[in-house]
């Protein structure tokens, strides 16, 4: 079977900056392909080229077998996209925006009404459908845009950070719907995201990109397996000191501090935990808690890019650490 | 079929947006009124006219032309907004052809501009300017024809602009020259104008648009002062429209 997307040495440069640097990526038909990368990694640039909004500087790519430069028209006929940046008409109502999209993207007139109602229900905007977009909240606008991208059933659907700014419940609905769409309509999905849980739950395969280059590509499970080990997370009254001690005396260089907790990646966590406790006690460090967990995508990301995906994105944090952050502000 | 629906939906959008912008509709009454009442009164005796024509009769088609011009050029601003607010991406990534996208916007904006032109025509009649109301129906298609080319200019310029900052310059460098050099405020023929002005005006498509409007609204009384017979006027305007549509489609094809 031909690839849904195939890029060959695809490159986009802005002056001396290589936003996308010789990417060779093949996306299989029917898969959900996740793109993970820190801010400025080149995800949006990559997606923009594939949906014919941007012309590549060099290299080539096909979407659905059509060349993105020479057969841009045919590419457009087979794709759908939810942009990262706003792209709605705020002088029109929600429903008008959806109808316009349906008309532009060739949804049969007989089906428009029903599909639009279904979408409005999905994104929970039925009661606001006939208000002007400018009276919507940010999250409501995002929901409408997301819904809009799902009205027509393209062969390849690009979702550029689709659920940023949405509440968890809505995200959950959207995820379910995307999975359902994929199954019922045989849609290939390219998803860029900052949310690890989103990438993990939705993607069949994930590519991590950084500085325009692909760092690694695999299934979420395999990616986590490559870290081969456990993560020991310690909360203590002086995590920095503990981090130094652990590195120095136990020889574990893979330590990092995440939201005030020291996280150590090791082969066999169960064996290491007592040693850490011992070390802390000897040095008068009070340990509040110590937990052992499997590595998650966040750890994978850090491992391959040397960065924590959240640290410069300003995206929300969860749980206790989030509360603490809020208290500080 | 899908192209037709694409066209329709883009056309409808321009109409809706225009209709919802009430302030623009209201202020559109004011300017032509000032021209037709104050300017016409002040300059009534400045231009030599045949005995069977009044200056107000001559200036009304000119002010209609001016209204079409200014409204049409202003429409370009919508393209810049669309780019700035990202909506243009939604349109450009759709499978509708660039030609259809351009035409949908252009005809939609032209419909809006035409509405403004109609308002001025009605104001003229309400002011008691002696023009046969029946000529309104001849003037209508001509007004639309004029608008197509003018809107296209605005859209083409806007498609090259990245932001709103430069848009004010259009007023200075495009609107006013086209306006003053079209004979909208005075008859180009009949003697008193310097010949260089008349020569330049001959290259202005709006000259022929305004002339066509005068040919149909003033009839035989205008014949001695006409630039060209009606059919040539219409031919020139139509040719200009055709060229601008080609240029516009090209401009939209290369737009990001
Ligand atoms: N129009 C442009 N002109 C110059 N540089 C640009 C332009 N667009 C993007 N870039 C640069 O290209 C790089 C990649 O940007 P891109 O938007 O693709 O990143 P991204 O991975 O989508 O990031 P984010 O997660 O923040 O959305 C960045 O360094 C950015 O500054
Ligand atoms: Mg991006």
> Quick one: A63 and A131 in the same domain?
yes
CATH number at residue A214: 3.40.50.300
Q: Residue A1 — pLDDT band, cuts 50, 70, 90? A: low
Domain around A250: 228-294
Secondary structure of residue A111 in the 3-state scheme? helix
Closest CA relative to residue B17, chosen from A265, A34, A72, A90: A90
Q: What is the pLDDT of residues A32-49, one digit of tens each?
A: 999 998 888 999 999 999
Q: What is the pLDDT, as a whole number, of residue B186?
A: 87
In a domain, A140, yes or no: yes
State the ligand closest to the CA atom of A20. 1
Q: What is the pLDDT, as a whole number, of residue B24?
A: 74
CATH number at residue A279: 3.30.70
Q: What is the pLDDT of residues A126-143, one digit of tens each?
A: 999 999 999 999 889 989
Residues of B in Cβ contact (< 8 Å) with A89: 13, 17, 82, 85, 87
Closest CA relative to residue B69, chosen from B207, B203, B247, B218: B207
In a domain, A42, yes or no: yes
Q: What is the pLDDT of residues A140-181, one digit of tens each?
A: 998 999 899 989 888 999 999 988 888 888 888 888 888 888
The Å distance, Cα B2 to ligand 2 centre, comes to 31
In a domain, A275, yes or no: yes
- Cβ of A44 less than 6 Å from ligand 1: yes
Task: Check pLDDT > 50 for residue A315.
Answer: no
> Quick one: A67 and A92 in the same domain?
yes
Closest CA relative to residue A212, chosen from A33, A47, A30, A55: A47
Domain around B75: 2-44+52-253
Q: In B122-132, which positions are buried (b, 16+ CB within 10 angstroms) versus exposed (e)?
A: ebbeeeebebe
> Quick one: A244 and A205 in the same domain?
no
> Quick one: A272 and A141 in the same domain?
no
Contacts of B21 (CB under 8 A, 6+ apart): A91
The radius of gyration computed from the CA coordinates of chain A, to the nearest angstrom, equals 23
Secondary structure of residue A262 in the 3-state scheme? strand
- Average pLDDT of chain A to the nearest whole number: 87
In a domain, A322, yes or no: no
Task: Check pLDDT > 70 for residue A251.
Answer: yes
Task: Check pLDDT > 90 for residue A229.
Answer: no
What is the domain count for chain A?
A: 2
Task: Check pLDDT > 50 for residue B2.
Answer: yes
Compare CB distances from A91 to B10, B20, B89 and report the shortest one's residue: B20
In a domain, A240, yes or no: yes
B160 by Cβ neighbours in 10 Å (0-12 / 13-18 / 19+) ranks as exposed
DSSP string, B73-115: HHHHHHHHHHHHTTHHHHHHTSSS-HHHHHHHHHHHHHHHHHH
Question: What dihedral angle (degrees, nearest 10) is formed by the CA atoms of B14, B19, B21, B24?
Answer: 100
Of residues A58 and A309, the one with the higher pLDDT is A58
Cα A231-A237-A239 angle, rounded to 5 deg: 45
In a domain, A327, yes or no: no
- Cβ of A11 less than 6 Å from ligand 1: no
Task: Check pLDDT > 90 for residue B233.
Answer: yes
8-state DSSP, A125: -
Q: What is the pLDDT, as a whole number, of residue A309?
A: 63
As a residue count, chain A comes to 329
> Using an 8 Å Cβ cutoff, are A272 and A234 in contact?
no
> Using an 8 Å Cβ cutoff, are A174 and A166 in contact?
yes
Q: What is the pLDDT of residues B145-157, one digit of tens each?
A: 999 999 999 999 9
Q: What is the pLDDT, as a whole number, of residue A313?
A: 40
> Quick one: A102 and A147 in the same domain?
yes
> Quick one: A236 and A214 in the same domain?
no
d(CA A13, CA A58): 9
> Quick one: A76 and A127 in the same domain?
yes
Compare CB distances from B256 to A53, A81, A100 and report the shortest one's residue: A53
In a domain, A323, yes or no: no
Mean pLDDT of A285-301: 85
Task: Check pLDDT > 80 for residue B18.
Answer: yes
Share above pLDDT 90 across residues of chain B, in percent, rounded to a whole number:
62
Task: Check pLDDT > 70 for residue A325.
Answer: no
Can you tell me the ipTM of this complex?
Answer: 0.88
> Using an 8 Å Cβ cutoff, are B183 and B227 in contact?
yes
Nearest CA to ligand 1 atom 30: A40
> Quick one: A78 and A215 in the same domain?
yes
Q: What is the pLDDT, as a whole number, of residue B255?
A: 83
Predicted structure pTM score: 0.85
8-state DSSP, A322: H
Q: What is the pLDDT, as a whole number, of residue B65?
A: 96
Compare CB distances from B2 to A54, A85, A106 and report the shortest one's residue: A106
8-state DSSP, A241: H
What is the domain count for chain B?
A: 1
Task: Check pLDDT > 50 for residue A108.
Answer: yes
Q: Residue A322 — pLDDT band, cuts 50, 70, 90? A: very low
Rounded to whole angstroms, what are the CA distances from A228 to A206, A222, A249? 18, 10, 22
> Quick one: A110 and A196 in the same domain?
yes
Of residues A305 and A211, the one with the higher pLDDT is A211
Mean pLDDT of B47-75: 90
Q: What is the pLDDT, as a whole number, of residue A320?
A: 39
> Quick one: A119 and A264 in the same domain?
no
Q: Residue A54 — pLDDT band, cuts 50, 70, 90? A: very high
DSSP string, A22-62: EE--EE-TT-EEEEE--TTSSHHHHHHHHTTSS--SEEEEE
Q: Residue A67 — pLDDT band, cuts 50, 70, 90? A: very high
> Quick one: A235 and A218 in the same domain?
no
* Percentage helix, strand, coil for chain A under 3-state DSSP, each rounded to 5: 40, 25, 35
Q: Lowest mean pLDDT of A218-227, B19-28, B128-137, name the range.
A: B19-28
> Using an 8 Å Cβ cutoff, are B107 and B9 in contact?
no
C-beta atoms of B13 and A87 within 8 A: no
Closest CA relative to residue B94, chosen from A22, A188, A100: A100
Domain boundary among A164, A188, A223: A223
The Å distance, Cα A44 to ligand 1 centre, comes to 7
B22 touches chain A (CB under 8 A): no
C-beta atoms of A104 and B85 within 8 A: no
Q: Residue B1 — pLDDT band, cuts 50, 70, 90? A: low
Domain boundary among A195, A223, A251: A223
| Alpha-carbon A223 to chain mean position | 15
Domain boundary among A178, A198, A223: A223
B23 touches chain A (CB under 8 A): no
Q: What is the pLDDT, as a whole number, of residue A310?
A: 55
Closest CA relative to residue B187, chosen from B158, B164, B210, B168: B210
DSSP string, chain B: -HHHHHHHHHHHHHHHHHHH-HHHHHHHHHHHHHIIIIIHHHHTTTS---TT--HHHHHHHHHHHHHHHHHHHHHHHHHHHHHHTTHHHHHHTSSS-HHHHHHHHHHHHHHHHHHHHHHHHHHHHHTT----TTHHHHHHHHHHHHHHHHHHHHHHHHHH-SSGGGHHHHIIIIIHHHHHTTTSSS-SSSS-S-HHHHHHHTT-HHHHHHHHHHHHHHGGGTGGG-SS-HHHHHHHHHHHHHHHHHHHHHHHHS--
Mutate to test the pocket of ligand 1, among A10, A11, A14 (most ligand atoms within 8 A of CB): A14
Q: What is the pLDDT, as a whole number, of residue A222?
A: 86
Q: What is the pLDDT of residues B83-139, one digit of tens each?
A: 988 999 999 999 999 999 999 999 999 999 999 999 999 999 999 999 998 999 999
Task: Check pLDDT > 80 for residue A261.
Answer: yes
């Amino acid at each position: 079977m031909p690839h849904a997307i195939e890029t060959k040495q695809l490159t986009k440069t802005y002056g001396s900056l290589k936003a996308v640097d010789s990417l060779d990526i093949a996306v299989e038909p029917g898969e959900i392909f996740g793109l993970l990368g820190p801010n400025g990694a080149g995800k949006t640039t990559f997606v923009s080229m594939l949906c014919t909004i941007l012309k590549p500087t060099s290299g080539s790519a096909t979407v659905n077998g059509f060349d993105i430069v020479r057969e841009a028209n045919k590419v457009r006929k087979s794709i759908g996209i939810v942009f990262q940046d706003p792209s709605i008409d705020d002088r029109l109502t929600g429903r008008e925006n959806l109808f316009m999209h349906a008309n532009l993207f060739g949804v049969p007139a007989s089906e428009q009404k029903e599909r639009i109602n279904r979408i409005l229900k999905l994104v929970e905007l039925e009661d606001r459908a006939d208000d002007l977009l400018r009276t919507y909240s940010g999250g409501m606008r995002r929901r409408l845009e997301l819904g809009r991208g799902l009205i027509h059933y393209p062969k390849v659907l690009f979702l550029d950070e689709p659920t940023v700014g949405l509440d968890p419940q809505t995200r959950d609905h959207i995820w379910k719907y995307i999975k359902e769409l994929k199954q019922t309509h045989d849609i290939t999905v390219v998803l860029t995201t900052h949310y690890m849980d989103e990438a993990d739950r939705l993607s069949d395969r994930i590519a991590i990109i950084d500085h325009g280059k692909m760092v690694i590509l695999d299934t979420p499970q395999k990616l986590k397996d490559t870290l081969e080990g456990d993560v020991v997370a310690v909360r203590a009254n002086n995590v920095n000191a503990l981090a130094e001690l652990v590195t120095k005396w136990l020889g574990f260089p893979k330590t990092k501090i995440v939201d005030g907790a020291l996280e150590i990646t090791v082969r066999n966590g169960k064996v290491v935990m007592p040693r850490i406790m011992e070390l802390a006690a000897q040095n008068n460090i009070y340990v509040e808690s110590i937990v052992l967990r499997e590595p998650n995508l966040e750890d994978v990301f850090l491992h391959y890019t040397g960065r924590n995906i959240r640290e410069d994105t300003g995206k929300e944090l969860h749980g206790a650490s989030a509360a603490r952050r809020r208290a500080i502000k | 079929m899908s192209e037709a629906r694409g066209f329709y939906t883009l056309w409808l959008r321009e109409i809706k947006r225009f209709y919802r912008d009430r302030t623009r509709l209201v202020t559109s009454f004011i300017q032509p009124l000032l021209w037709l009442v104050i300017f016409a009164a002040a300059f009534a005796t400045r231009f030599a006219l045949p005995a069977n024509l009044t200056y107000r009769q001559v200036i009304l088609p000119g002010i209609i032309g001016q209204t079409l011009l200014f409204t049409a050029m202003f429409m370009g601003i919508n393209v810049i907004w669309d780019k700035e607010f990202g909506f243009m991406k939604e349109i450009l990534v759709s499978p509708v052809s660039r030609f259809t996208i351009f035409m949908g916007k252009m005809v939609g904006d032209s419909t809006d501009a035409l509405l403004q032109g109609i308002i001025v025509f009605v104001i003229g009649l309400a002011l008691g300017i002696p023009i046969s109301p029946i000529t309104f129906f001849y003037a209508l298609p001509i007004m639309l024809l004029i608008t197509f080319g003018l809107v296209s200019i605005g859209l083409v310029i806007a498609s090259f602009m990245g932001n709103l900052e430069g848009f004010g310059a259009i007023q200075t460098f495009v609107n006013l020259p086209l306006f003053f050099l079209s004979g909208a405020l005075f008859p180009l023929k009949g003697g008193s104008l310097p010949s260089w002005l008349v020569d330049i005006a001959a290259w202005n498509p709006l000259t022929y648009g305004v002339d066509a409007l005068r040919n149909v609204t003033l009839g035989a009384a205008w014949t001695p002062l006409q630039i060209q017979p009606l059919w040539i006027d219409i031919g020139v305007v139509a040719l200009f429209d055709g060229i601008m549509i080609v240029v516009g489609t090209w401009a939209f094809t290369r737009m990001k």
